[in-house]
A and B are shown apart, each in its own frame.
Chain A
């Protein structure tokens, strides 16, 4: 006989899911939670009737019209608590995690601290608690954040690849598949991308992908209902920031230019009194190029590229693998300028450093430019050279220094150990030195070793050893030949410097691992680069 199983009536009686037999306590807890959520949402929607929304900023009225539909749509779709805003065919999504409260005024979210987040259509955000504030995760689209003063924490905006932290400011963030852009309207923000952290000021912006076209901040915020107010604020911020500037500045092409004869190219200095090689756009801020008197500064034979690097505090490495200042015409790298400028009264434009050798036993105090002087240079470059810069995050070649799997084999420095190198260089705080075939240090940190390797390899070296303390080390290796700079390998059998360690056949990488137990590996890391968008020959004096 065929087994027919239970009939449909039986199935309906016993097979339907039922919650009716659940304990009262269980049902009460669900009921209380649901009621709390409902009342909280009701307050959110109620904020549409906020008087500020009616008379203050030019808010959208759409939420008022659509609120019932929106909530229904949001809940019916049941997208894990995502609230959906709909206006015509445009949708923006908000998800509040960890109970972060917010209310809605037009197309703007108002957080509990008063910060306002304006969403562009088709944008999606998620609100989360951070350790010291609130984090807005921008999944896609654009937001303009007017961050309230954060008394004891930060407001964060995080995209897939950057984190922006603020304590009170107005800024714009855009997140796309290809990368993110951040622009500042007022105040200052810190942008963290991987291990790179940048600070942006009003009118400045940064993008994590060079292929994302950069728009002026004015255009970036053009979609906002408050675009006019943001632009006015931007102009106001730009003019309100007191800018340091020289009282009077004379700019002339260096008299001993590369057209004046002598060797050209190949490092020839064409008889310059500064001694700067013709094809070297970088000059250190030493006495050959920069002298303070102190109410006046004398800059000699510095190319515009070098001036920009000074002004921005960028390490000048155009011929290294890691070039952090890019773009602009070729003349800014070759043509030197002499600049004499008067420094207005105020805080010092420089500080005095250690003794600097002038040769023939003469020394003078090193002069180190201050932030105020850098600001003056920035003003000069902007006004006289029409300089426009843009910041970007790019993947740059770099090396990472780590402890080898077998463990580091470092000798800690101890009291009584020498503070001098074999070449007689002695410092109270320890000494370090490197040549293309050896690196040595007495009482040095791993950070310093990374800097030494950076100088040798011409590429950023990041210390990820996690090793603290001070050490003594001496490593010999086969001559490091850098095609871009550095001395060429001497012919075999050439006489060696007296006191230099014996030569080695090992590569730098093997020598580091075998002698010190440290690994040096090539990689690419996201780093901030500054792009020269516009620069012109200097205007008349």
Chain B
């Protein structure tokens, strides 16, 4: 599913909004999540999952072409963890009785 399919599907379920308005809302949601993460703020969407930044340690690597050693500095990476409801929806057979 792509962004445009998502907008169409959401628009079908929302009665009073035009496709354009739905698009603006979808865009606002993703942009807000990006903005918050850029400020190292954790995002918790109940029933869906969490987004947070995790620091990657610096490491030594090699340029595969030249074999030359390069130091890769530490950096922040985006981490997503699916929430309980989502994990259960993906694995209905695994829910413990």
Partners in one complex: no
